[in-house]
């Protein structure tokens, strides 16, 4: 029995090999189902102003967590590409960036909706909103920039360079600047505490259900898109032709 990890020991047959690959997708569906059901039906503390809209915590905040994760993964692949050019890394990098951008956009939309019911306006030029939209514009520019370069290797290299640049700009725009000024958003200097007294039951749904659930969903989308890109790549150029 030497050399067998616990998982192979538990799942020796070929049928279970499939389970080994898909367990996280099943987990993702379960977690999201839990998030949505417990998120909409579970008890939440009645707080002034936010009231029932506090349930958006499971969606809005989790979107930003997922975005940060995917953009970080994307920049890691960009660095890997620059260190040792490999076309696969470029595909990984761009697909993770795209998923990150989708989650960031959803984060802005859910945030704006939340602001509409608690701050009184869907868009109020709050520093946090501005920072987020600027960060997203920088990343939209990444996609436009990439599409503008016809040559594949050049596109990959310049895209990776800009990706690192954009990731570095993410920190001032969403992490540093909004914290320096007065903001209605938690985390600014407006004295709006967010997680100081989070209800334990809510923390459970949020930490166990929402954040891993949405992140796994994003990873699922990204891996599907990566497989699609790799297949599309293979169909018009056999691997031998490429360097």
In the complex, minimum distance from the CB of residue 189 to another protein, in angstroms, rounded to a whole number: 8
Residues in the interface with another protein (CB under 8 A) total 29
Residue from 144, 196, 239, 241 binding another protein (CB under 8 A): 144
In the complex, minimum distance from the CB of residue 81 to another protein, in angstroms, rounded to a whole number: 10
Regarding 184 and contact with another protein (CB under 8 A), the answer is no
Residue 221: other Cβ atoms inside 10 A: 17
In the complex, minimum distance from the CB of residue 233 to another protein, in angstroms, rounded to a whole number: 21
Q: What CA–CA distance (Å, rounded) separates 38 from 60?
A: 16
Q: What CA–CA distance (Å, rounded) separates 104 from 134?
A: 11
Residues 6+ apart with CB under 8 A from 132: 104, 107, 108, 111, 173, 174
Q: Output the six-digit token pair for 13.
A: 């047959």
In the complex, minimum distance from the CB of residue 128 to another protein, in angstroms, rounded to a whole number: 13
Reduce the DSSP state of residue 144 to 3 states and report it: helix
Q: What angle do CA 159, 133, 93 make, to 5 degrees?
A: 25
Residue from 19, 26, 27, 137 binding another protein (CB under 8 A): 137
Regarding 152 and contact with another protein (CB under 8 A), the answer is no
Task: Report the residue count for the chain.
Answer: 243
Residue from 44, 102, 149, 204 binding another protein (CB under 8 A): 149
| Direct distance between the N- and C-terminal alpha carbons of the chain, in angstroms, rounded to an integer | 42
Regarding 161 and contact with another protein (CB under 8 A), the answer is yes
Q: Select 188 or 218, whichever has its Cβ closest to another protein.
A: 188
Residues in contact with another protein by the rule CB under 8 A: 82, 130-131, 134, 137-138, 140-141, 144-145, 148-149, 154, 157-158, 160-162, 164-165, 168-169, 172-173, 176-177, 180-181, 189
């Amino acid at each position: 029995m030497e050399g067998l990890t616990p998982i192979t020991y538990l799942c020796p047959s070929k049928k279970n090999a499939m389970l080994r690959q898909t367990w996280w997708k099943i987990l993702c569906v379960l977690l999201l189902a839990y998030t949505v059901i417990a998120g909409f039906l579970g008890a939440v503390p009645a707080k002034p102003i936010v009231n029932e809209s506090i349930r958006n915590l499971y969606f809005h905040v989790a979107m930003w967590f997922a975005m940060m994760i995917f953009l970080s993964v994307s920049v890691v692949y960009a660095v890997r590409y620059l260190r040792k050019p490999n076309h696969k890394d470029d595909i990984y990098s761009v697909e993770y960036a795209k998923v990150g951008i989708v989650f960031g956009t959803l984060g802005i939309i859910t945030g704006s909706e939340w602001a509409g019911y608690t701050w009184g306006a869907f868009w109020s030029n709050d520093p946090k909103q501005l920072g987020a939209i600027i960060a997203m514009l920088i990343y939209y520019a990444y996609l436009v920039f990439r599409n503008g370069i016809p040559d594949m290797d050049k596109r990959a290299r310049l895209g990776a360079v800009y990706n690192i640049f954009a990731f570095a700009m993410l920190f001032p725009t969403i992490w540093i600047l909004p914290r320096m000024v007065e903001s209605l958003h938690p985390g600014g200097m407006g004295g709006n505490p967010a997680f100081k007294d989070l209800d334990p039951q809510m923390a459970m749904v949020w930490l166990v259900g929402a954040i891993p659930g949405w992140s796994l969903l994003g990873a699922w989308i990204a891996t599907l898109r990566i497989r699609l890109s790799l297949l599309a790549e293979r169909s018009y150029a056999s691997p031998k032709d490429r360097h």
